[in-house]
């Protein structure tokens, strides 16, 4: 069975594609070979991860539509037709039995080309509020996988199925004892894990720095600053008298292989509300404070965080309320209140479906047999 995988642009798209690809190989490997091809933008992360999985990569030019005025929108108007023609060619040469699209602007040319060839398409929506690309592509797809029940009302009813959000199995392989050694943590202090995403979240980084000195009197902090913010954060911490890697403060630009260990030793997670990271928090059943990006496309992070907070699965703090006193108060409340800590852990883990990738892979395989 030949399957094209498409998406990309961010880790939030690439990692779920990777997980579904592994599941397709597993399910098809028992009876037949899975011949996979990744078709998407020329990005470092895409190349690195697909090469590790031995999945061939073909690149196309992708145009991104921004919901704000930008001269780059004018340029990208001409990029889409180029990417569409490139997709037509690559699909003609490979001629897959199905296409799996993770969503985002990188998927659109491929999905339009696949639809023209009448190749069955499955798309996946991670967020509560579907993005513009998936809203458009859902009209062309045979099946639409969603991570949240609330998403169903925004998409064609007969095509939708609830899968959950596929995440890497490795995220659950962390070991607390190993983590204490890896991060040089004290077993006698509670640990806060701060996640701002691969590019960093300046608002969260600034908020953590504002409480750093009083917070370290009680707790220890693993701080994922993002690559662009790392040096600035370390420099500012030093100005406050806190040396990176000492005194209970452990900043990192980004964690990939060691992230499961960071989760395993965390007593509280402070994070953005992207679909992937909140699913990873849910999989590890960790109490969380979610700080969604204000003004994200379709307010997707705000809607994700609301879905969790409405049922008491996480604490929602808007950026405008991320003051020093409120943040310290919320951290202290969650860590010190054992009952609240337990309730948050129990409720959040219900948002994790360990069969998400399996469910999506089954639907893709069914299309070929239909």
Q: What is the pLDDT of residue 27?
A: 92
Tallying the residues shown for the chain, one arrives at 370
Question: Are both 266 and 341 inside the same structural domain?
Answer: yes
Dist CA 76 CA 273 (whole Å): 28
Dist CA 148 CA 64 (whole Å): 25
Residue 7: φ, ψ to 5°: 150, -155
DSSP state string for 79-130: HHHHHHHHHHHHHHHH--SEEEE--SGGGHHHHHHHHHTT--EEEEE-SSS-
Q: What is the pLDDT of residue 115?
A: 98
Cα of first residue to Cα of last residue in the chain, in angstroms, is 13
| 328, 293 contact by CB (below 8 A) | no
Dist CA 305 CA 289 (whole Å): 9
| 294, 269 contact by CB (below 8 A) | no
Of the candidates 51, 38, 53, the residue with the CA atom closest to the CA atom of residue 6: 38
Q: What is the pLDDT of residue 368?
A: 72
Of the candidates 263, 262, 270, 267, the residue with the CA atom closest to the CA atom of residue 289: 270
Q: What is the pLDDT of residue 206?
A: 93
Q: What is the pLDDT of residue 250?
A: 97
Question: Are both 288 and 317 inside the same structural domain?
Answer: yes
Dist CA 51 CA 45 (whole Å): 10
Q: What is the pLDDT along the chain (370 residues), one digit of tens a residue?
A: 999 999 876 667 788 999 999 999 999 986 567 899 999 988 888 888 899 999 999 999 876 655 555 556 566 677 788 999 999 999 999 999 999 999 888 899 999 999 999 999 999 999 999 988 899 999 999 999 999 999 999 999 999 999 999 999 999 999 999 999 999 999 999 999 999 865 558 899 999 999 999 999 999 999 999 988 999 999 999 999 999 999 899 999 989 899 999 999 999 999 999 999 999 999 999 999 999 988 666 688 999 999 999 999 999 999 888 888 899 999 999 999 999 999 999 999 999 999 999 999 999 999 876 6
Dist CA 103 CA 12 (whole Å): 10
Q: Residue 368, CB half-sphere, CA atoms under 13 Å: how many? A: 17
Q: What is the pLDDT of residue 345?
A: 97
Question: Are both 258 and 227 inside the same structural domain?
Answer: yes
Buried/exposed 288-315: b ≥16 CB within 10 Å, e otherwise: bbbbbbeebbbbbbbbbbbbbbeeebbb
Reported as a single tens digit per residue, the pLDDT across 289-323 is 999 988 666 688 999 999 999 999 999 999 888 88
Question: Are both 79 and 103 inside the same structural domain?
Answer: yes
Neighbouring CB atoms inside 10 A of 245's CB total 11
The set of residues, in sequence order, having a beta carbon less than 8 Å from that of 8 and lying 6+ positions away, is 14, 17, 38, 40, 41, 43, 45, 46, 62, 102, 104, 106
Q: What is the pLDDT of residue 370?
A: 65
Average pLDDT, the chain: 91
Q: What is the pLDDT of residue 367?
A: 87
Q: What is the pLDDT of residue 76?
A: 65
Q: What is the pLDDT of residue 72?
A: 61
Question: Are both 141 and 238 inside the same structural domain?
Answer: no
Question: Are both 177 and 216 inside the same structural domain?
Answer: yes
Question: Are both 181 and 149 inside the same structural domain?
Answer: no
Q: What is the pLDDT of residue 105?
A: 82
Partner residues linked to 123 by β-bridges: 101, 144
CA 192, 196, 197, 198: dihedral to nearest 10 degrees?
-100
Could you tell me where the beta strands, DSSP code E, fall in the chain? 2-6, 35-40, 57-59, 98-101, 121-125, 143-146, 160-162, 190-195, 219-224, 249-252, 268-271, 288-290, 315-316
Q: What is the pLDDT of residue 32?
A: 62
Domain with residue 320: its CATH number is: 3.40.50.2000
Question: Are both 79 and 209 inside the same structural domain?
Answer: no
Q: Which residues form the domain of 306? A: 170-351
Question: Are both 263 and 145 inside the same structural domain?
Answer: no
| 199, 226 contact by CB (below 8 A) | yes
Reported as a single tens digit per residue, the pLDDT across 190-205 is 999 999 865 558 899 9
Dist CA 140 CA 120 (whole Å): 9
Question: Are both 181 and 53 inside the same structural domain?
Answer: no
Question: Are both 11 and 141 inside the same structural domain?
Answer: yes
Question: Are both 123 and 190 inside the same structural domain?
Answer: no
* Domain tally, the chain: 2
Reported as a single tens digit per residue, the pLDDT across 76-114 is 677 788 999 999 999 999 999 999 999 888 899 999 999
């Amino acid at each position: 069975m030949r399957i094209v995988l498409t998406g990309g642009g961010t880790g939030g798209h690439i990692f779920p594609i990777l997980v579904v690809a592994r599941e397709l190989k597993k399910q098809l490997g028992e009876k037949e070979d899975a011949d996979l091809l990744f078709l998407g933008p020329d990005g470092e992360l895409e190349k690195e991860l697909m090469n590790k999985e031995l999945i061939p990569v073909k690149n196309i030019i992708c145009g991104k539509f921004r919901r704000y005025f930008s001269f780059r929108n004018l340029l990208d108007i001409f990029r889409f037709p180029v990417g569409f023609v490139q997709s037509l060619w690559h699909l003609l040469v490979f001629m897959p039995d199905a296409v799996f699209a993770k969503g985002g602007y990188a998927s659109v040319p491929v999905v339009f080309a696949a639809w023209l060839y009448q190749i069955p398409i499955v798309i996946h929506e991670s967020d509560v509020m579907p993005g513009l690309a998936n809203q458009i592509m859902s009209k062309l797809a045979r099946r639409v996988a969603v991570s949240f029940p609330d998403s169903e009302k925004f998409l064609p009813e007969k095509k939708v199925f609830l899968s959950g959000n596929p995440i890497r199995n490795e995220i659950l392989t962390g070991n607390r004892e190993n983590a204490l050694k890896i991060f040089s943590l004290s077993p006698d202090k509670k640990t806060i894990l701060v996640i701002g995403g691969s590019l960093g979240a300046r608002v969260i980084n600034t908020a953590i720095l504002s409480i750093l000195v009083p917070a370290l009197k009680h707790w220890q902090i693993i701080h994922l600053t993002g690559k662009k913010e790392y040096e600035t954060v370390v420099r500012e911490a030093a100005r406050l008298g806190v040396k990176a890697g000492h005194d209970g403060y452990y900043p990192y630009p980004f964690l990939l292989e060691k992230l499961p260990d960071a989760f395993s030793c965390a007593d509280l997670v402070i994070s953005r509300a992207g679909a992937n990271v909140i699913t990873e928090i849910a999989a590890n059943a960790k109490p969380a404070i979610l700080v969604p990006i204000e003004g994200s496309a379709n307010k997707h992070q705000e809607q994700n965080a609301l879905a969790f907070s409405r049922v008491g699965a996480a604490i929602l703090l808007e950026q405008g309320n991320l003051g020093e006193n409120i943040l310290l108060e919320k951290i202290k409340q969650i860590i010190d209140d054992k009952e609240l800590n337990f309730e948050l852990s129990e409720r959040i883990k219900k948002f994790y479906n360990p069969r998400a990738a399996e469910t999506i892979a089954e639907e893709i395989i069914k299309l070929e047999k239909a």
